[in-house]
């Protein structure tokens, strides 16, 4: 292939640990009717990528590409014939259906957002996946309102740190769980009460701090180990939105008495496997409500660390270490430190 058609991408031949990820020259994606071709400046690393690498989806490709990765920010270099509202040279960020771990990615323009002038393209790579997911969980599904209270688990992570910021900006009282070494940054994101999940029982802490009432919304990433305590931490009419299963899905005890007599709702959501139309709607909902706040700095992407694209294995190790606060990013070599 010619130099113009080639690009560096991260691939893997077998499922396994971070070491299976290797840099290889491959062809640039072809632009379809509704696509933007983006020269990537920043690529978000997500937990779905770790699951993908380990074989959780049963195949190397997912959706749009044989290349992994779901989130990009960069500059448009080509537009499809049916694209509206975007031009070559525009700075964009958004969610792709695969193919992010590369120098160039294609993105359906209906999944793309213009990057505010006040935001750098490196930081923009830490926006789309986590903030769209957080908005969906808190407001579209959890129906969180100003003056209500919310418990957000894993609050130092990518989605967690975004959710704390959005809930705070919306006027909610924010309870958050995080390791003791991460309490200062989590409070900086806007949490009113931070609970150390290693040394405190969050159900007891929530009960004490709410006078036994509980919280209106719980956003959970842990799954089975937290289920009973989450449900018993909800106020009458409360909503729990399950976004992840970091602690597994088996052996959970659901207290049906609380669900029934307290009129509770339990809702699950995942972005990766949703249809393009659903993802587009999720992106629009976030953009309409929050892009201005992103432009003014009222909410901000949280970047833990950056790695050259060719060092994707080390980026995965960083995320798996449990030490990160916010997003881990990959930067194609021209933009790497």
Q: Rounded to whole angstroms, how far apart are CA atoms 151 and 233? A: 9
pTM to 2 decimals?
0.93
* Residue 89 in this model has a pLDDT that exceeds 80: yes
Q: Rounded to whole angstroms, how far apart are CA atoms 155 and 333? A: 31
| Of 48, 41, 264, 7, residue with least CA distance to 157 | 48
Q: Would you place residue 305 in the very low, low, confident or very high pLDDT band (cuts 50, 70, 90)?
A: very high
Which tokens is 6 given?
């080639």
Whether residue 114 contacts residue 144, with contact meaning beta carbons closer than 8 Å, is answered with no
Q: Rounded to whole angstroms, how far apart are CA atoms 86 and 159? A: 27
Q: Would you give the distance in Å from CA 21 to the centre of its chain?
A: 21
**What element of type H or E holds 49?**
helix 47-54
pLDDT on residue 59 = 67
The model's pLDDT over 159-195, given as tens digits with 9 standing for 90+, comes to 999 999 999 999 999 999 999 899 999 999 999 999 9
Overall fold of domain 6-127+273-335: Quinone Oxidoreductase; Chain A, domain 1 (3.90.180)
Provide the terminal-to-terminal Cα distance of the chain, rounded to the nearest Å. 29
Q: Rounded to whole angstroms, how far apart are CA atoms 321 and 92? A: 30
Average pLDDT over every residue of 107-117: 97
Neighbouring residues of 194: CB distance < 8 A, sequence distance ≥ 6: 155, 175, 176, 177, 178, 183, 186, 187
Higher-pLDDT residue of 272 and 78 is 78
Task: Give the start-to-end residue ranges of the domains of the chain.
Answer: 6-127+273-335, 130-268
Q: What is the mean pLDDT of the chain?
A: 94
Whether residue 238 contacts residue 217, with contact meaning beta carbons closer than 8 Å, is answered with yes
CATH no. for 130-268:
3.40.50.720
The model's pLDDT over 113-151, given as tens digits with 9 standing for 90+, comes to 999 999 999 999 999 999 999 999 999 999 999 999 999
């Amino acid at each position: 292939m010619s130099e113009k058609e080639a690009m560096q991408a991260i691939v893997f031949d077998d499922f396994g640990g971070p070491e299976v990820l290797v840099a290889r020259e491959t062809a640039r994606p072809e632009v379809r009717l509704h696509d933007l071709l983006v020269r990537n400046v920043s690529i978000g690393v997500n937990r779905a990528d770790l699951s993908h690498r380990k074989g959780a989806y049963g195949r190397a490709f997912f959706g749009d590409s044989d290349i992994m990765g779901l989130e990009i920010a960069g500059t448009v270099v080509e537009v499809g014939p049916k694209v509206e509202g975007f031009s070559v040279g525009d700075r964009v960020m958004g969610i792709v259906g695969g193919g992010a771990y590369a120098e160039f990615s294609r993105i359906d323009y209906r999944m793309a957002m213009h990057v505010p002038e006040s935001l750098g393209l490196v930081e923009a790579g830490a926006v789309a996946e986590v903030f769209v997911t957080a908005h969906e969980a808190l407001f579209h599904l959890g129906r969180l309102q100003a003056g209500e209270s919310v418990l957000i688990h894993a609050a130092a992570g990518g989605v967690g740190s975004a959710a704390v910021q959005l809930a705070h900006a919306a006027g909610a009282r924010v309870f958050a769980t995080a390791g003791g070494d991460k309490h200062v940054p989590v409070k900086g994101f806007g949490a009113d009460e931070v609970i150390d999940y290693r040394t405190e029982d969050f159900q007891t802490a929530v009960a004490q701090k709410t006078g036994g009432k509980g919280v209106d919304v719980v956003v959970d990433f842990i799954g089975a180990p937290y289920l009973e305590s989450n449900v018993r931490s909800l106020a009458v009419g409360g909503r729990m939105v399950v976004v992840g299963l970091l602690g597994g899905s088996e052996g959970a005890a659901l207290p049906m008495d609380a669900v029934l007599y307290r009129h509770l709702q339990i809702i699950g959501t995942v972005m990766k496997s949703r249809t393009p139309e659903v993802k587009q709607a999720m992106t629009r909902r976030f953009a309409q409500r929050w892009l201005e706040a992103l432009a003014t700095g009222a909410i901000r992407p949280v970047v833990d660390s950056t790695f050259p694209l060719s060092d994707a294995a080390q980026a995965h190790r960083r995320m798996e270490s449990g030490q990160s606060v916010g997003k881990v990013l990959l930067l194609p070599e021209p933009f790497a430190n």
